[in-house]
Amino acid sequence: MTLRCVIFDLGETLVENTETFMKSKVERNMKYLEAAGIKLAEEDLKQAIKKAREDIDNTHGTTKRFERAAYYKALFKHLNKDLDERTLDKVYSMYTIECIDDMKLLPNALEVVIYCKELGLKLILITNGRKDMTDAILEKFGLEKYFDYVITSYEFGHEKSSLEPFKHVLEKFGLQPKECIVVGNRLDEDIAAKKVGMLTVWLKRDDDKILGKAEEPDFTITRLSELKNIIEGQQETL
């Protein structure tokens, strides 16, 4: 059986935000809220951010966390502030613009995507998130032209951990599981594709540990450039 399809994750696999951006939550939110005419003490904001993140984390596994500006709706709730659509639009727009502007490609990301495309492999992107933000990120880096199909969990209605996006790809393109290889950084999301029989590649970028056989990937890499050797090996052995 020949490898026919590579399924990529997006965030922390092909693109990432800088460490500075990720660590500046309080400062950024203070700026966004002040621009929307809301002033408050920094400590109050810190506590509200913590509670808002807990709210979002509790919806992991469902697309509810990707509802439009869900995080900011939770944040305003814990700040006991009224949230009108105009304020929501202003705050959310400021965040998305800065988030996308700050993003960068991971080393070798474009090179590896082009390599897979030139081999004639079908390229699929499956990401937990929204279509509008995903499209903007792909366009920024000129990646959209390389992907044959893009699934965003919010519009699709299921996150990757449900396995439904992976099953959908098999059905839509008439693929067998072993003809597909999934590349991502999340053991609980991307490597879940192993449950439907797909080959899995874990891009290990932090201190995550494999907790059980269900999370054990077929391959582990620390740099995207290593994916080339895996694909070459699969082309020879499948």
For 64-104, write each residue's pLDDT tens digit. Answer: 888 878 888 898 889 888 778 888 888 888 999 999 999 99
CB within 8 Å of 108: residues ≥ 6 apart: 223, 224, 225
d(CA 146, CA 236): 24
Fold of 5-16+104-237: Rossmann fold (3.40.50)
- Give the 3-state secondary structure percentages of the chain, helix then strand then coil, rounded to 5: 55, 15, 30
How far apart CA 88 and CA 85 sit, in angstroms, is 5
Can you tell me the mean pLDDT for 204-224? 80
Dihedral (CA of 3, 199, 208, 134) sign: positive
Q: What pLDDT digit, counting tens, does each position of 143-174 carry? A: 999 999 999 999 999 999 899 999 999 999 99
Alpha-carbon gap, residue 149 to 172, rounded angstroms: 10
Reported as a single tens digit per residue, the pLDDT across 30-57 is 998 888 888 888 899 999 999 999 998 8
| SS3 per-residue string spanning 48-89 | HHHHHHHHHHCCCCCHHHHCCCHHHHHHHHHCCCCCCHHHHH
Task: Please name every residue paired with 123 in a beta bridge, in sequence order, or none if there are none.
Answer: 6
User: With the C-alpha atoms ordered 152, 157, 158, 159, is the resulting torsion angle positive or negative?
Assistant: positive
How far is Cα 111 from Cα 222, in angstroms, rounded to an integer? 16
Residue bearing the bigger pLDDT, 113 or 25: 113
Task: Specify the higher pLDDT residue, 229 or 205.
Answer: 229
pTM metric for this prediction: 0.89
